[in-house]
Chains A and B, each alone.
Chain A
């Protein structure tokens, strides 16, 4: 079946603008995760969803970052008033269920965000 998809694949924006990144998980996967990889850094956890709720938002780097998930499926990560340090590859992953620890997370291809 179809894997995790993300859009756009690349986004170039100007400092101060808002951006929305979209993730479409594998059908039937109730858990959804957002990560980002900044230059020279490891993948950094941002937030996860179980269904439409986000029990842990502790990874969001600032209040300019928010995420939502609707219908237990598509998720949107929004960055307001983008800064140059937000430039990174943003990856989304999904897994069958949040409460099955050790479940494989299946990743999308990522969105490369560049803030000029």
Chain B
């Protein structure tokens, strides 16, 4: 059983605060690490797919880093806004030779208030 852990479980910040979450995953047999944002009553939205150790990706105020050797990824949100309120999921994609069979963490639930 693959163990993908996310911390913290939940986070409550004020508008304008910067914040970050952690995803830890197995360091062996790594192929890719996915980040998703899941707003209530909507579909999970893909943020990043990361494959290279040391990779850093950015989308607007959101960025992510990847360390495959030690098995962790950080997601950063700069200047949080209320519309950033959502659950942020990471998913580990091991090398299986064929399929993108993802193992998800339980997510970090972010609430941003005015």
Contact = CB atoms under 8 A, between A and B. Distances in A.
B49 interface: yes
A58 B36 CA distance: 24
Interface residues of B, number: 28
Interface stretch (A11-19, A36-44, A63-71): A36-44
Interface in A4-24: 4
Given A40-B106, A105-B46, A109-B43, A99 B98 contact: yes
Contacts, number: 72
Contacts of B106: 40-42
Interface stretch (B13-21, B62-70, B72-80, B88-96): B88-96
Which of A99, A105, A109 is the most central at the interface, judged by chain B CB atoms within 10 Å of its CB? A105
Contact of B96 (A91, A101, A105): A101
Contacts of B27: none
A18 to B, nearest CB: 26
B103 interface: yes
Interface residues of A, number: 29
A102 B91 contact: no
B51 interface: yes
Interface in B71-114: 89, 91, 93, 95-96, 98-107
Given A4-B43, A102-B31, A108-B43, A45 B95 contact: no
A67 to B, nearest CB: 15
Given A43-B104, A48-B101, A102-B100, 11 more contacts: A4-B43, A35-B104, A42-B89, A42-B107, A45-B101, A101-B95, A101-B96, A104-B34, A105-B34, A107-B36, A110-B43
Q: Nearest 9 pairs between A and B by C-beta?
A: A102-B32, A43-B104, A42-B106, A42-B104, A107-B44, A107-B43, A104-B46, A109-B43, A101-B100
18 contacts: A4-B43, A40-B106, A42-B89, A42-B104, A43-B102, A45-B101, A48-B99, A55-B99, A56-B99, A98-B100, A101-B31, A101-B93, A102-B49, A102-B100, A103-B49, A104-B49, A105-B34, A109-B41
